Amino acid sequence: MAILEIKNVSKFFGGLAANADVSFEVAQGSIMGLIGPNGAGKTTLFNCITGYYEPSRGEVIFKGNRMNGLQPDRVCKLGMARTWQKVRPLAKMSVLDNVMVGALCRTNSLKAAREIAMEQLQVVRMDGKAAFLAGGLPIGERKKLEMARVLATKPELLLLDEVMGGLNQSESEEIVLLILDIKSRGITQMVIEHDMKTIMRISDRIVVLTSGEKLTEGTPQEVVSNQAVIDAYLGESHS
């Protein structure tokens, strides 16, 4: 069953189509990879799905509800959470407080929020840093903090925008294991990622965008053997 349906979504900025007529479905419990060259419209699509932009045309359907025009806070309450390509720690708050802000989405009690937050910090193995100021963390830990913070909002669908960008090999591996762990807990994920090896390894299906349009969609094997994809995407970096 599809938890998320993207139906003919277009987003125009002036005359520029950042997304043009994009359609696909994300199956419940799966990991959907979203790839494409720079400027292909991946983050724009995330913004359309999570309420930061309203699609110019088309529909976003989440759990059977039409999401167009809903504000990001409503989207989050309905069970869809996102991370940011450029991390956004609440710098002057502690790591624990950051995650608590996420947890307060589901509870009004600080005590309950603190418990949820500590659980999520354990999931990303950052419980030892709970008292640190978020602004002082190195990039790898900021990314993990962001993961803990969105997990604390108890999402059913998680949209990860380049969570491995700027990380070294071992940090990336940690995130990959985390993503697989999140999947095993039944949370659906959509992942934007540039590293092909990683995206091939974690995705159940992959959507390829170029210049705002959907080029193709399929299993990782289908996508890498697709000549159009090789030309448009891999061709650039492997020529």
Instruction: Provide the binding-site residues for other proteins, judged by CB under 8 A.
Output: 50, 52, 71-73, 76-77, 81-82, 84, 88-94, 97, 100-102, 104-105, 108, 110, 113, 129, 131-133, 136, 149-150, 153
CB of 44: closest distance to other proteins in angstroms? 15
Which amino acid belongs to residue 120? Answer: Q
Which residues, 6 or more positions from 238, have their beta carbon under 8 angstroms from its beta carbon?
Answer: 230
CB of 210: closest distance to other proteins in angstroms? 27
CB of 185: closest distance to other proteins in angstroms? 20
Query: Using CA atoms, how far apart are residues 206 and 26, in angstroms rounded to an integer?
Result: 10
Which residue's structure tokens are 């110019």? 56
CB of 142: closest distance to other proteins in angstroms? 12
Residue number with CB closer to other proteins (110 or 180): 110
Residue number with CB closer to other proteins (150 or 229): 150
Of 142, 96, 101, 123, nearest to 185 by C-alpha is 123
CB of 215: closest distance to other proteins in angstroms? 28
Query: Using CA atoms, how far apart are residues 125 and 118, in angstroms rounded to an integer?
Result: 10
Residue number with CB closer to other proteins (109 or 168): 109
Of 6, 3, 4, nearest to 23 by C-alpha is 6
Of 34, 5, 43, nearest to 207 by C-alpha is 34
Q: Are 103 and 113 in contact (CB under 8 A)?
A: yes
Q: Half-sphere exposure (CA, 13 Å, Cβ side) for 149?
A: 24
Of 146, 136, 97, nearest to 117 by C-alpha is 97
CB of 16: closest distance to other proteins in angstroms? 22
Residue number with CB closer to other proteins (124 or 208): 124
Helix, strand, or coil here: 128?
helix
CB of 156: closest distance to other proteins in angstroms? 14
Of 216, 210, 218, nearest to 236 by C-alpha is 210
Residue number with CB closer to other proteins (46 or 233): 46
Residue number with CB closer to other proteins (92 or 185): 92
Residue number with CB closer to other proteins (149 or 214): 149
